[in-house]
Amino acid sequence: MTEEKTQGTISRLLDFAGEYRGLTYIGCALSAVSMVISMAPYVCIWLAIRDLVAVAPDWTAATGVAGYGWAAFGFAMGGILIYFGALMCTHLAAFRTATNIRKRCMEHLAKAPLGYFDTHASGLLRRRIDGAASQTETLLAHNLADITGTVAMFVTLLVLLFVFDWRMGAACLLAVAISVGTLFMMMGGKNAGLMAGYYDALDRTSKAGTEYVRGIPVVKVFQQTVYSFRAFKEAIDAYSAKASYYQGVVCKKPQAVNLTITEGAFVLLVPAALLIAPGALDSGAFADFVANFAFYAVFSAVLSTALAKIMFAAGGLMQAGDALKRVEEVLSAPTLPITDNPHVPADNSIGFENVSFAYEGSELPALDSVAFSVEPGQTVALVGPSGGGKTTAASLIPRFWDATGGSVKVGGVDVRDMDPHVLMDRVAFVFQNTRLFSATILENVRAARPDASREEVLEALRAAQCDDILDKLPAGVDTEIGSAGTYLSGGEQQRVSLARAILKDAPIVVLDEATAFADPENEALIQKAFARLMEGRTVVMIAHRLSTVVGADRIIVLDRGRVAEEGGHDELVGAGGLYARMWADYRRAAQWKIQKEVA
C-alpha cells in the first residue's frame, strides 16, 4: 500500500469521526510518548549492568543499582498508564466513527429507491455496513495508535542502537531490514491487491450464504445437498482458494523467515560480539563491551514486538482500506432526487406518458414508450407474458425507480415533482412477496399508520378477513410472529399485509400478484379483502390468474416492455390477439386434471 493511499484511507475514515477526530490525534500523540518512555527502562538496565561490571566482583559497591531499578519500574508504569490513556482516546473516536459510518449508510439507503433493495441482497448490504464498520474500529482503536507509537519507537531505537556500540546496533538493524523485506513480499507490490480479492470473495460468500439459508426448504424437499446450490458452492470454493493461496503460498515462506529473524535477532549479535571482543580486551574496555552486549541482547527482544506491531498495523490498514471502499460503494447507491418546489396532485388519476425504463446493466429496456391512463376510481389490470414489464410499470408509480424516459403522473403531477411523503401517503401497495416483521400482529399492521388506535387496527384486520387467524393465535392480535412456534402460511401473511393497506386508507392501490401464494380457501378470503380495499379507490393490479381481472374497468396487455393491447375483457377476447390467446391458455390450464390411463 502506498503512503498516499494510506493517508487517504486514514483521512477519509477520520471524516466520519466528526468532533471526535481530535481524540484520535491526542491518542496517537500519547501513544508516541508512551513508546518513547517505554525505552527508558532499557537504558536503566544498561546503567545498572555497567555499574555492576565496573565493580565486579564486589557487587555491594554498586550503590546506584537500586535507584536504576526503581527508575526502570517508574518509566515502565508511566508508559503503561500513558498508553492506556492513548487507547481510551482512540477507542472513543473509533466507536464514534463506526457508529457514524453505520448512521450515514442507513441515512443514505433511506433515500435510495426501494427498487435498489431488490437488486442488492440484504446479506451483502449488512456485511458491507456492519462488517466494514467493525473493521474500521480495529484500525482507529489500535492500529493507528500503534503505527504512531511504532514510528516513535523506531526513531528512539535508531538512536539507542548507535549510542552505545554502532556495530552491535547495525547487527540488530539487519534483523529489522530482513523483517521489513519479508513484510513487503507479503503485502506489497502485486500482492497488495490480493487482500481486496479476498474480501470480495468473502462478500460473495456472505451473499450466497444468505440466499442458501432462505432456499433450504427447496433443497430439503428435493433431497439435495449443498452442492446443488451451485452459487453457494462456487462462492465457498472461490473464498477457500483465495484464502489458501494468500496464506499458504504467498505468506508461507516470507512469514517463516520473518518470525525466525525477529524472534532470533539475538543470534545476529553473536558474530558481531566475536569480532568486537578482541579489540575490547586490547583497549581495556572489556567491561563496557560486556555491558553493551548485555544491553543489546535484552534490547533485541524489543525488535520482535515492534515488528509484530508493524505487521499487525499494516494488515489493519489493508483491511480498513478495503472496508472503506465497501462503505463508499453503499454511499454511492443512487438516491431519488427531491424537488425543491413540490406540486400537489389535483386528484387520484395515474398517467403514463411515453414511459421508458431500463435496469442497470441491462441491454434491453424493461419499458419502451409505454402510455396509458387510469381515471380516479378506476381499476386497471396489467397482464402479459413474464418479463413483459408489468411489475416494472407498477413500481414506477410509488417511485421505487424513476423513469429513464417520459413521465409517470399522479393527479396530473409528475411523481418526481411531488413531495415523497405526499406520494407515499397517496399510494398503498401489496406485493406477491409479503414481508412481516418479527413483532406482534398489531405492530405489523400498525406499521402502515403508526398513530392508528388498537380498534382501528382490529377493524382493518376484520376487513382483511383475518378473524380466523386471530382466533387461532394464543394471544390474538398481540401474538408475536415467529415466537413460540407461531408462524403464518403464505395466504395468511397476505391477508395481514392487506390489513396494512386497508389501515393506510390510501386513495391509490397497487396490487402485484397478491394471490400468487394463496391456496383456494385463502384466495377466496383475499378476494373479499380486495373488494373492501378497492372500494372507491384508483387501483392498478398485476395478475397472472386472468380470472381475477375479468371485472377490471380496463386491461392493459404488456409484451416486451410495450403496450400490445388494451380494453375490456370481452373486447380483448373478441379481438383475437395476445390477450385472447392468454385467456384460452388460462382456460385450458384451469380445466386440466390428472387422469389415470385406462388399459
Helix (H) or strand (E) holding 111: none
- What domains can you pick out in the chain, each with its CATH number? 3-331 (1.20.1560.10), 350-591 (3.40.50.300)
Answer yes or no: are the C-beta atoms of 397 and 542 closer than 8 Å: no
Grouping H, G, I as helix, E, B as strand and the rest as coil, residue 498 is helix
Q: What are the residues whose beta carbons fall under 8 Å from the beta carbon of 502, sequence distance 6 or more?
A: 460, 463, 464, 529, 532, 533
**Residue 282: its pLDDT value, please?**
63
Cell of 317: 490498514
pLDDT at residue 596 greater than cutoff 50: yes
Q: What are the residues whose beta carbons fall under 8 Å from the beta carbon of 589, sequence distance 6 or more?
A: none
**Residue 238: its pLDDT value, please?**
77
pLDDT at residue 544 greater than cutoff 80: no
Burial readout 425-448 (b: 16 or more C-beta within 10 A, e: otherwise): ebbbbbbbebebeeebbbbbbbeb
**Residue 458: its pLDDT value, please?**
92
CA angle at 428 for the pair 425 and 430, rounded to the nearest 5°: 155
**Residue 516: its pLDDT value, please?**
53
pLDDT tens, residue by residue, 207-260? 677 666 666 666 665 555 555 567 777 777 777 777 666 666 677 777 777 777
What is the mean pLDDT of the segment spanning 93-114? Answer: 85
Give the pLDDT band (50/70/90) at residue 581.
Answer: very high
What share of the chain in percent tops pLDDT 70? 76
pLDDT at residue 594 greater than cutoff 80: no
pLDDT tens, residue by residue, 431-443? 776 677 888 889 9
Give the pLDDT band (50/70/90) at residue 561.
Answer: very high
What share of the chain in percent tops pLDDT 90? 20
**Residue 1: its pLDDT value, please?**
43
The values of phi and psi at residue 188, to 5°, are -100, 180
Give the pLDDT band (50/70/90) at residue 456.
Answer: very high
Q: Which of 125-134, 151-160, 407-416, 569-578 has the lowest mean pLDDT?
A: 125-134
**Residue 160: its pLDDT value, please?**
73
The residue ranking higher by pLDDT, 284 or 88, is: 88
The residue ranking higher by pLDDT, 505 or 311, is: 505
pLDDT at residue 310 greater than cutoff 70: no
pLDDT at residue 204 greater than cutoff 80: no
Q: HEC string of 52-73?
A: HHHHCCCHHHCCCHHHHHHHHH
Give the pLDDT band (50/70/90) at residue 463.
Answer: confident
Pairwise CA distance, residues 105 & 331, whole Å: 6
**Residue 217: its pLDDT value, please?**
64
User: Highest mean pLDDT range out of 146-150, 336-340, 388-392, 594-598?
Assistant: 388-392
**CA nearest to 99, candidates 145, 144, 141, 146:** 141
Grouping H, G, I as helix, E, B as strand and the rest as coil, residue 5 is helix
Q: Which of 49-53, 342-346, 390-394, 493-497 has the lowest mean pLDDT?
A: 49-53
Q: DSSP per residue over 288-356, as a string?
A: HHHHHHHHHHHHHHHHHHHHHHHHHHHHHHHHHHHHHHHHHHHHTS------SS----SSS-EEEEEEE
**Residue 2: its pLDDT value, please?**
43
Q: Which of 70-79, 393-402, 589-598 has the lowest mean pLDDT?
A: 589-598
pLDDT at residue 77 greater than cutoff 50: yes
pLDDT at residue 83 greater than cutoff 50: yes
CA angle at 173 for the pair 169 and 174, rounded to the nearest 5°: 120
To the nearest whole number, what is the mean pLDDT of the chain? 79
**Residue 355: its pLDDT value, please?**
95
The residue ranking higher by pLDDT, 389 or 195, is: 389
Pairwise CA distance, residues 453 & 96, whole Å: 38
